[in-house]
Amino acid sequence: MAESDETASTHVANAEPILSLVDIHKYFGRLEILKGISIDVAPKEVISIIGASGSGKSTLLRCVNLLELPTSGNIFFEKQAIDYRRPPGLFGGNPVLSSLRKQIGMVFQNYNLWPHLTVLENVVEAPVLVKREPRATAIERGRHLLDRIGLLDKQGELPGRLSGGQQQRVAIVRALAMQPKLMLFDEVTSALDPELVGEVLALMAKLAFEGMTMLVVTHEMSFAREVSDRTIFIDGGTIVEEGPSAAVLTSPQHERTQQFLDRVLRPYRAVEDSK
């Protein structure tokens, strides 16, 4: 989490990227969604990705852990080139891809918890099945993580008995149980009632403060400004503007960024003007 624009810039300049996306293109049929995206992500850096719906933000995030396969371009994780071009049927035999999936956690807009498993079972399932951890070890870590977010008393509940905010926090903990080096968040507050958004953002801010590397697709401008080291504005599948979050969000240099922020922030400015 950035302490200042200068600190963030120095940190990024001096660190070897944990993730590099180089000229990423993505087509769905003849429709080009991503048009040459390149991003370096430093260890412990928090990057917010903003933009209008349909601009390619979520597709970009899904290309990072290969839930969507890029049409072209290169992905490097910890300097290792990720060979995503193998046919899908061979993925199980690709140790590089297998390792990538274990080290990158992702949290989605709609929780995606298994409804038939308890909260604790949701958290421990992947470490046991994917990483082959002893169940006792996974359970101990799972309970510790649930205790950290104040939901240990819900460990035996089914997800359907929790509030949306509680379910999303469990989804975050489920990803953390894999001990990832990078976390991806795809508009994780969009499906929540307004009063529940704060508890999820507070957990994400805590993770940032503790040094988790994060790529966050978000419409929460306050989170981007106060927590992210950098903010990237994407429009039409291209990066229009990027830089320290405070600079991009308060003094954008590109006209398209200014237009987007004016529309997003207009309701808040109207409230301020009426005071």
Cα→Cα distances 271→221, 225, 261, Å? 16, 19, 16
Looking at residue 18, its pLDDT comes to 97
Strands 46-50 and 213-217: parallel
pLDDT mean over 68-81: 93
Average pLDDT over residues 94-116: 85
Which residue do the tokens 């989490």 mark? 1
The rounded radius of gyration (Å) of the Cα atoms in the chain is 19
Would you say residue 33 has pLDDT above 50? yes
pLDDT above 70 (res 268): no
Q: What is the mean pLDDT of residues 223-229?
A: 95
Task: Say if residue 90's pLDDT is above 80.
Answer: no
Band (102; pLDDT cuts 50, 70, 90): confident
Residue range 64-80: average pLDDT? 93
Given pLDDT bands bounded at 50, 70 and 90, which one contains residue 87? Answer: low
Taking the model in full, what pTM does it have? 0.88
Q: Kindly report the CA angle at 114 between 223 and 91, in degrees rounded to 5?
A: 85
Weakest-pLDDT range from 5-9, 92-96, 133-137, 244-248: 5-9
Q: What is the mean pLDDT of the chain?
A: 88
